[in-house]
Structure formats: C-alpha cells, structure tokens
Structure 1
Amino acid sequence: MYTKEFEIHTGNRAVVHDLTKQATAYLAECDVDNGLLHGWVPHATAGLAVLETGAGSDHDLLAAIDDLLPRDNRWRHQHGTGGHGRDHVLPAFLPPYATVPVLDGALALGTWQSLCLVDTNVDNPVRRVRLSVLAG
C-alpha cells in the first residue's frame, strides 16, 4: 500500500475543491495497474464526494448543504463563526472518505465524475487530504 498526504488551502468560504488532478498525479507516482484509491480527510468538518464539477453541480451541492444544514444558531455545538455547528454535522452526510477503483493505471471515474473535497468550515482555511493506493 502507498500513502501520501497533502494540504489544500480552502480559504474562508465554503468550497468544493476538485482533487482529481492530484489523485491522478499521485496514482502515476505509485505505478499501480489495478486496485483502489482511497481518500481520507482527517477533519471533523469536511467530507469527500464524487460528483460533476464545472457545470454548476459543485455550487448546487453547496446550496443544497445550506438548505439542508442552515448556517444559523440552532446547533448545540457552538464555537467559532455563527452556525459553525452545522459544519460538524456535515460528515454524516458527506463522509470524510471515498474510494475509487483503479483500472489499467487510471482512476475508473465516469465521464463527468471528479473526486472532490467539500469544506464548509470557514474557520479552518487549511485541510489535509490523505490518499492511499491498495494494489490489486
């Protein structure tokens, strides 16, 4: 198994950050033909998702999160920016992990799929992402 960890600077706003290029570059370093790429975000307020980006779906996802988990003061977990408690609920809906098959040395994503970090926590501008490859 191969593992690499890197930082993503998400800034001070909710973001969907496409990790596909980093994952593809890392996969090339591992020189694995077939197996699994597993992503992990060691944070209590971020998640990973496989979705289409660049055509508005990333913005739609953030809007859906805002609708489902409003950034207001209903949350018992209260510290940091107002409504931050909802960020701690996010990983129950978007888990901090995702696994993608590797076939013939490439991520076996669908035509419009990307591996993405979803971070709604405006109080933490730097995230760590850990990628591991299990060769098959």
Structure 2
Amino acid sequence: MPTEKPEPRAASLVFQRTLEFRTSRQGLLDVTREVAAVVAESGVRQGICTTFLQHTSASLVIQENADPAVLRDLERWMSKLAPESDEYEHDDEGPDDMPGHLRSAVTRTNEVIPVTDGRLALGRWQALYLWEHRSAPHVRRLVVTILGAG
C-alpha cells in the first residue's frame, strides 16, 4: 500500500524591525506605508503583523483613511474627553503630560493586523495611525513584528 507524503510546509518566520517617527504636534500620523514596507521586507506571505508603540502618552489606532474629517472629529472628541488642565497632580512635563497618558489609556499601544498574500490585510478605508497625544514634538518608537510563513 503506497504511503502518502505530506505536503511541504513553508518555514515559519519571525521578523522584527523598530521604526522611529518624529511627531511635530498632537494628531494622527498615518504609518501604514512604513509598516507595510516591513511586511514586504519580511517575506512573510501569510501570518500576522503586530505593532507595539513603546510609549505611554501616544497610541495606535486603525481608522478611516478616506475622509480627513473623521480624524479631526476624533481629535476634537479626545480633547474634550481628556482636556489639558492644571488640575492634574502629574504635571512634571507640562499641562499636556497627564492628558497624554489618559488619552493613551482609552486607546491602545498595540495593534494586530493579518498578513495575506504578503500584504497588510487592512480594509479598503482603513489605515494604521500613530496618535500623538502630546503638544510638543517627540520621537516615537514602533516595534513591528511579523509572524508567519513565506
């Protein structure tokens, strides 16, 4: 009786890069292109892309990329939710310090996106944004890890 040979499996891959972004002010910065470039460099065809922001006063969000009014509305809503104020106990780095932490607490510092056919499997109107919550410019570090098969 013939024995069946198992299908060859693609090698599992783990690939990681740390990206730096310079922010100039509060706001949403589209980082999709840079993260997609890491996915392409990894050679992973099927898997997941994890993104982790190494900061506590900025965050990551997946949001609409078609109408800029969405981003403006998000920023207005967030500034009402966690306004700059001299009422906070933690103000070592200025009046935007604690609101930055509050804003980060209600969003997140990581996102996971599927990788399909070597590309981020974002929806047509989706983008990955780094959301700077501080008024002053900062350098933000984003760790991108790709797990999957080539």
TM range (shorter): over 0.9
Distance 1:30 1:15 in 2: 29
Indicate the residue corresponding to 2:145 in structure 1: 132
Partner of 1:18: 30
Aligned residue for 2:136, secondary structure, equals coil
Once the two structures are TM-superposed, the CA of residue 88 in structure 1 deviates from its matched residue by: 1.2
Structure 1 partner of 2:88:
75
In structure 1, the gaps of 5 or more residues are none
Residue matched to 1:57: 70
- What is the distance in 1 between the residues matched to 2:94 and 2:75? 17
Shift of 1:83: 3.9
Q: CA deviation at 1:76?
A: 2.0
Residue 57 of structure 2 corresponds to residue 45 of structure 1 = yes
Question: TM-score normalized by structure 1?
Answer: 0.92
> Equivalents in 2 of 1:114, 1:36: separation in Å?
16
Shift in Å at residue 68 of structure 1?
A: 0.7
Structural RMSD (CA)? 1.4
State percent identity of aligned pairs. 27
TM-score (norm 2): 0.84
**1-structure distance, mates of 2:148, 2:62:** 21
Q: CA deviation at 1:124?
A: 4.6
2:136 match: 123
8 Å Cα contact 2:57/2:97 also seen in 1: no
Tell whether the 8 Å contact from 2:58 to 2:109 is kept in structure 1 after alignment. Answer: yes
Mapped to 2, the partners of 1:7 and 1:44 lie a distance apart of: 15
Give CA-to-partner distance per residue, 1:8-39, whole Å, 9 cap, x none: 0101x202010110011111100111111011
1:86 maps to 2:99: yes
Q: Give the 3-state SS of the residue equivalent to 2:34 in structure 1.
A: helix
Match of 1:6 in 2: 19
Aligned residue in 2 for 1:97? 110
Can you give the 5+ residue segments of structure 2 that lack an aligned partner in the other structure? 1-13
Out of 95-104 and 76-85, give the one that drifted further.
76-85
